[in-house]
Amino acid sequence: MKNLKYIITGAPGTGKTSIINELEKRRFYCVHENAREIIAEQIVNGGNILPWKNQIAFEKKIANLRVKHYLSSPRESVCFFDRSVIDCIAYLKSNNLEISAEIIKNVKITCFNNTVFYTPLWEDIYLRDNERKEDIKEARKIEKNILDTYQSQGYKLVEIPKTSVIERTNFIISNI
């Protein structure tokens, strides 16, 4: 049976959330990125589980949530995930930080379709904000690590064209 769980990944600020929102409007099961909500929560509560304070703890928390969402997703319908545990590895690699055995175990728990869609860096739409602190240079480095990490895990990367959200969504649907 074909694996119906698809990842959409890419550098920060490249339109993944807009695509996920459009897929959800079309009644696909979607799992949203949880990093922004964790960052916002930590800022409000004065917490330290932030990528710029304790990235290892941050990625561990994200990885555990991603596994939880993966395990609770339907088995027999198409599902889209805004990032996966593999992105946690790429972000840690971007800062030369150690990848814990727990994160590696979490990657093994999650099994996705071999085709991974990625949104390329797109300077025209890139914005920094309270949760997205990376400048464009850092975003490029993250993108390279994301692509390298997915390829090293055996995934086939499919670049989503820089077009409207509707066209990008149509592209993904036509390639599943």
How much is the mean pLDDT over the chain? 90
* Strand (E) or helix (H) holding 72: helix 55-72
pLDDT 10s digits, 65-79: 999 999 999 988 999
pLDDT 10s digits, 120-140: 987 776 555 555 566 777 888
d(C-alpha 103, C-alpha 105), whole Å: 5
Helix axes 55-72 and 85-94, enclosed angle (nearest 10): 170
Q: Which residues contact 42 (CB under 8 A, 6 or more apart)?
A: 48, 49, 50
Pick the more confident residue, 41 or 149. 149
pTM: 0.89
The band of 103, judged by pLDDT with boundaries at 50, 70 and 90, is: very high
Query: Which of left, alpha, beta for 62 (phi over 0: left; psi -120 to 50: alpha)?
Result: alpha
Q: State residue 32's pLDDT score.
A: 94
Q: State residue 71's pLDDT score.
A: 95
Residue 111 Cα distances to 9, 160, 173, angstroms = 15, 21, 20
pLDDT 10s digits, 18-30: 999 999 999 999 9
